[in-house]
Amino acid sequence: MAKILQEIFVDPPMAIARLGASRIPLDAFVWSEAAGPRGSDDTTLMPRWTLDVQPDGTVQPRMPKRLTFRDGEHIRPLCPFFELWAKVGEAGSDRSTWQAVPLTPALLKEFGGAPSDLVLHFNAVNSKAARRRNDPDLRFGTFPPVSLRGDQHAALAISGSSPPDAARPLLQDGRSIPLGSLRFLRSKPQPAPQATPWTDDVNVEVMRFRFTPPAGRFYGPPAAAQARTHAGRSLVAVPAECAFLNGEVGWLEQPVPPQSGDAAMLLDVVDDTSDARISVELSLPGRPVLRTRATLFVAPPDFALSQRPAPTIGEDLRERKAAAHELADALTAPFEAVSLMTAEHWRAVHAQDQAPEDSAQLTINSNAVRADLPVKQ
């Protein structure tokens, strides 16, 4: 029975892009262990094959000799790549028998398709101000989502604007906030095995796209460009060119929830981070449309590079070769922590809805003893 293209997926399904004003992306690296001066294992960073995007949209692997995180005062952004993969198997076969293969133009042609049959939809939104003020009009992002075909290899700028149905939009008069750029990269033939130092590690033929985050700027209303005193200091929240938000819908001089933990909210400004939902559709002749999804988070730079990310429970257990009772302990601890977090959340929610006069005014006297309770002798 002939094989068909059963499904597609994105690798990785979730990624983090980090802000940076430099025009040069951060090179690839991994956390590794190196023997310390006293024989102990120290955490270090090791360069890995980095993909340099060429003018024609193809990528060229390069092994960095050193890692550079800044160009002068500008931080290098972390710009993640996403690869497109497919699973191939016989029609009506069990899913466990399907084989994962890179999605390439040659594979698409084999099944009667082409790169133009791939469409990527990108929906990025910043809801920080909307969430803290409980006002959906304060969102900004891609309304509607932007789309990009697999044969469009020019970078597409992503801009954030207010929802079209917002009664009091944060961004008005056609203004927008840059949220980065998106690019479908051009595939090129994979060299023969061992033909280059990187052939066994990098596939340049697989179809991939890349997101480049914005510079990491703050935006506010015209008043935010004027010097104000905050915490005993004179501050200018944003430069004049970024002071174009609607000043009538912000939170300047208004109370901010103390649990927000966002000092920028006190200055009536927003940043250019966002959360993005990515969907990819493949339309092949005579076949149902194949769809897959991925998630992207745009976050500030992270300079805690001397420490590894928190290990997963699985990694921890593998390293310790944990016994059954250790496994129970490892699973119980996060369960208890999450339970406490949930309880604290609902306590805070109910406390906000409770009127002050309904709260019991208790005076605790450590020496008081209730007369209706038996006292042990």
338-375 residue pLDDT tens: 666 666 666 666 666 666 555 555 454 444 444 444 44
Largest CA-CA distance found in the chain, in angstroms, rounded: 89
- The model's pTM is 0.77
User: For residue 1, what are the CA distances in angstroms to 4, 39, 93?
Assistant: 9, 58, 10
Look up residue 263 and give its amino acid: A
Q: CA-CA distance, 360 to 309, in Å (whole number)?
A: 44
What CA–CA distance (Å, rounded) separates 117 from 151? 9
Q: What is the mean pLDDT of residues 312-330?
A: 61
Q: For residue 16, give the nearest of 311, 276, 202, 359 by alpha carbon.
A: 276
**Separation of alpha carbons 139 and 165, rounded Å:** 11
Q: Smallest Cα–Cα separation from 175: which of 225, 227, 247, 274?
A: 247
Residue 34 has a pLDDT of: 66
Check residue 351 and give its pLDDT.
64
- What confidence score (pLDDT) does residue 315 get? 61
List, for residues 92-148, the tens digit of each pLDDT value. 899 999 999 999 999 999 999 999 999 999 999 999 888 878 889 999 999 999 999
Confidence of residue 237 (pLDDT cuts 50, 70, 90): confident
% of the chain residues with pLDDT over 90? 57
What pLDDT score was predicted for residue 223?
85
In this structure, what are the phi and psi dihedrals at residue 361, rounded to the nearest 5 degrees?
-95, 105
pLDDT at 133: 81
